[in-house]
Amino acid sequence: MIGNKKIGELLIELGFITAEQLNAALLHQKEFAPRKKIGEILVELGFLNEIDLLKCLSGLFKLRYISSDKLLKMAIPQWVLDIIPVDLAEKYRFVPFFCYDKSKTISVAIADPQDKQLPKLIKKLAGVNEIESYVALESAIKAAIAKFYKHQFVSVEQFKAVIKSESPQTIASFVPKTAQEIIEPEFVEPSKLLLKSTKIPEDQLLYFNKTKVYPFNLAESESQKQRRLSDQIAPLSLMSEDTFIELLNVLINILEIYKGGKYRGHSASVAKLVKEISQNLGLKAKETYYQVLAAYLHDCGMHTSEHLTLLHFNSENKLEMLKKYSRSALRLYEGVRLPVEVEKILLHTFERYDGEGFPEGLKGEEIPLGSRIIATVDAFIHLVNFESYGSFKGAFDLIASFQEKYFDPKIVDILGGIIADLFIDESSPRIIIIDHQPQELENLAALLKKNGFFPYPLKDTEKVIALLDNNPIYLVISEVATKPIDGFSICKLIKTNKKYQGINFIFLSHQHDHTTISKGFEAGADDFIAKPYNPNILIAKVKNFIKSSHPKTEKGVTPKGITGNLAEIQVTDLIQMLGSGRKSGTLKLFKEEEKGKIFFDQGQVINACYQDYEGEEAFNLLIRWEHGLFVFDPDAPLSEQKIFANTEMLLIEACRMWDEDKKKKEELL
C-alpha cells in the first residue's frame, strides 16, 4: 500500500504542492473527511490542479488517466453501462465508458488504483477478456454514475470546479522562479508544521528569545534596536512573492473552513477571477500581484455572519453595516505594513462606481482599479455561492444591471467574457455560425455564449449538414464567402428543404454591396447584416429570430406542437397533459447526445423507444428524465403498438419502480 505520506511527498517533490498545503489537507482530512483520499482533498481545497494529480497517479501506478471533463462529456452507450450493474459500480467506485466488442476489452475509470483485485472482479462481472483501467477522481466517477446511470444533472456546483481549475501555484505565478527554490519544503505531520532550516549569513544572524530580538552587531544605534520584530527580520525574509501567496492561500482556506460551508474556498475563487481579469487588462506582474493579495485579504476584516458586497446597498438596513465594515480592513492591517497599493485596494472595495459608496465616496476612475475588480467579482461569486442562483447567466445579468451604478462597466464586460462558458447548457438555443476568419468566429461565439446561446462555430461548411441533421438548431449565421460551399448555396439548401423548415438564416458579411445583399435575400435569407456590426443590434435580432424559430428535431422533422424545457415541466406531467387532451403524435425528448420518443394515439401511450430499449422498458427510463428539451409533434406517423396498459396505470407502475430503485440506492449508500 502506498500511503498518503508517500503520495504527498511525491507531489511536493514534483513541485505541485508545498508542505504547508499538504499539512493543511491532512488536517482537513482528519477533521472533516477521514475516508476521502488526500489527493481529492488537495484538489477540493484548490491546492492542486486535477490534471497534475492524475498525471502523478498515472505515473505512479503505470495507468492511463481520464479527466472529469472528458469523462462527463462522453456519450456512453447504454449497452456498455448495462455490462456493470449500477449498485456494483457505486460500491467499488468505477464506471465503464467504452468496450471493444470484438476483442471483449472494456475500458473503466477507477478511483482506487491501489486495489489490485478490482480488475479481476470487473473481468468476472463483465465477462470480458481484458480490462483497460484509467485513474480518475472519485468525485468524477460519482458524477458519471449519477449522470449516465441515474440521468441526473448538476449545474451550479460545477462552477466551484471551474474557478478552482488552477493550482494556487498557478494563481500566484507572477514572477519567474529562481533556478533553486529558496525554501525546500519537507513533509512533517500536521502537528509539526516546520520548514527545513536555511543557512543565514553570519553577519545577519539574530538571537531570539520569547520577547526580544538581539542583533549580534553591537554597533547598531539604540533606535535600530527598538525597531519592531517584523522590521528587523524583513530583510532576512526567505519568501518570494509566489511563496507568500501560496502560504496565504493555505491560511485563508483554513480560516474559511472554520467559518463554514459557503465560505469554503471563497477567497481563492475571488483571487482566481481577479487574476484573470487583471491579466486580461494587460496589467504588469507586480500590479496583478497586488490585486490577488488584496483578493485573498478582502473578507478578513468582516466579523459578521453575513457576507457583504455592493449589492447590499439595495437594502436600507444594511447601509450602516456597510459603512462600519468599509474601514475594517484598514484597521485590521494598519500594523502589518502591507504595500500601499494593497492598502488602498482594501480600503475602497465598498466604493460605488456612481460615487455613493463608502468610506470616501470615490467615483468612477477615482476608485483604485483593484477595488473595482474585487467588488465586481465578489458580488458575482456571492450570488452563485451565497444566494444559490440557479443560473450563472442570471447572476451575471443582475451584476450587469448595476453597472454604472455599483460596478465598472469595463470590468463587468471582461468578467462576462471570462465566464461566458458557464452561461450555456443543453437547454440553450443552438446556433450554427460559419466564418473563415478565426478571430471573428471566436468573437461571435463568445458574444453568443455571453447572451445564453449555444454556438457551433465552423470555419468551413463541411459539417453543416451533419449538425443540422443531429441537433435542434434554431438559427444559422454565415459569411457569404464560405468554402467548400458558398453561403448562398447553404442558405438555399436550408430554405428549400422541408426537413429544415423553421430554421432562420442570417448573413453576416464584409461583402455588403447591393448585388450581394440582393443575392442573399434571393437565396432565402431572413436578414443581411454588414460587418463591422453593432453587437447589441445583432443580439437583439438573434433573440427575435429565436422566438420565431423552431428547433429541428431528429431527421429534420419541424415541430408544430408543444416545445419546452424539462426543467420547467416534468415528463410525467407532460404525459398526463397529453393523455387528458387525447392527443395523437410523438413526444420527442433531447438530453445532450441522448434522444427518446413516447408515442401517443388519442391520449393513449402505445410505444416508447430509448437507445436499445423499446416499449415499457424505454418508457420507465424516459419518465425519469429531469432535464433536457421536449417537442411534441402531432404530425409524426404513429408507431406500431407495443404498450397495451392503460396510460394512468402505466405511469403509476413506472413511478413505483422508480421509487423502489431510489430506495435501493439510498440503502447501498
The tens digit of pLDDT for each residue in 315-343 reads 877 888 888 888 777 677 766 778 889 99
Q: Are 294 and 370 in contact (CB under 8 A)?
A: yes
Average pLDDT over residues 585-589: 90
Tell me what pLDDT residue 226 has.
44
Could you give the number of structural domains in the chain? 5
Average pLDDT over residues 406-416: 95
Q: Are 79 and 612 in contact (CB under 8 A)?
A: yes
C-alpha cell, 356: 455613493
Residue 93 and residue 111: Cα distance in Å, rounded? 6
Looking at the domain assignment, is residue 221 inside a domain? no
The verdict on 248 and 327 lying in the same domain is: yes
Looking at the domain assignment, is residue 177 inside a domain? no
Domain limit, last residue, from 151, 168, 197:
151
- What is the domain-level CATH number for residue 125? 3.30.300.160
- Angle between helix axes 285-297 and 266-280 (nearest 10 degrees) is 160
Looking at the domain assignment, is residue 181 inside a domain? no
Strands (E), 527-593: 527-530, 563-565, 585-591
Considering the entire predicted model, what is its pTM?
0.53
Average pLDDT over residues 440-455: 91
The verdict on 537 and 591 lying in the same domain is: no
Q: What is the DSSP letter of 386?
A: I
Average pLDDT over residues 233-244: 55
| Total H helices, total E strands in the chain | 30, 17
Tell me what pLDDT residue 390 has.
63
Tell me what pLDDT residue 458 has.
94
Instruction: Place 269 in a pLDDT band, splitting at 50, 70 and 90.
Output: confident
Tell me what pLDDT residue 176 has.
37
The verdict on 324 and 393 lying in the same domain is: yes
Average pLDDT over residues 647-651: 87
Looking at the domain assignment, is residue 229 inside a domain? no
The verdict on 269 and 347 lying in the same domain is: yes
The verdict on 516 and 436 lying in the same domain is: yes
Of the two residues 198 and 245, the one the predictor is more confident about is 245
Contacts made by residues 362-366, CB under 8 angstroms, sequence distance 24+: 364/408
Tell me what pLDDT residue 141 has.
92
Average pLDDT over residues 595-618: 92
Q: Residue 477 is part of which domain span?
A: 427-554
Q: Which of 549, 565, 500 is nearest to 155 (CA)?
A: 565
The verdict on 463 and 506 lying in the same domain is: yes
Instruction: Place 408 in a pLDDT band, splitting at 50, 70 and 90.
Output: very high
Q: Which of 534, 600, 662 is nearest to 86 (CA)?
A: 662
Looking at the domain assignment, is residue 208 inside a domain? no
Looking at the domain assignment, is residue 654 inside a domain? yes
Q: Three-state SS for 455?
A: strand
The verdict on 343 and 379 lying in the same domain is: yes
pLDDT-wise least confident of 179-193, 292-306, 367-381, 563-577: 179-193
Domain limit, last residue, from 390, 421, 452:
421
pLDDT in tens, 484-537: 999 999 999 999 998 888 899 999 999 989 999 999 999 999 999 999 999 989
Looking at the domain assignment, is residue 313 inside a domain? yes
Tell me what pLDDT residue 387 has.
83
pLDDT in tens, 67-121: 887 888 777 878 888 888 888 899 889 999 887 665 577 889 999 888 888 888 8
Domain limit, last residue, from 393, 421, 449:
421
Looking at the domain assignment, is residue 165 inside a domain? no
- Residue 418: Cβ within 10 Å count: 15
Residue 157 has pLDDT above 70, yes or no: no
34 cis-preceded (ω within 30 degrees of 0)? no
Tell me what pLDDT residue 304 has.
64
- What is the domain-level CATH number for residue 470? 3.40.50.2300
The verdict on 599 and 462 lying in the same domain is: no
C-alpha cell, 100: 471493444
Most trustworthy range by pLDDT among 127-136, 357-366, 630-639: 357-366
The verdict on 499 and 458 lying in the same domain is: yes
Tell me what pLDDT residue 493 has.
93
Tell me what pLDDT residue 17 has.
86
Q: CA distances (Å), 665 to each of 146, 568, 668, in order?
A: 11, 26, 5
The verdict on 22 and 105 lying in the same domain is: no
Of the two residues 469 and 548, the one the predictor is more confident about is 469
Query: What φ, ψ does residue 105 adopt, rounded to 5°?
Result: -120, 130
C-alpha cell, 450: 455571453
Query: Nearest-5° angle of CA 426, CA 432, CA 434?
Result: 150
The verdict on 61 and 118 lying in the same domain is: yes
The verdict on 406 and 274 lying in the same domain is: yes
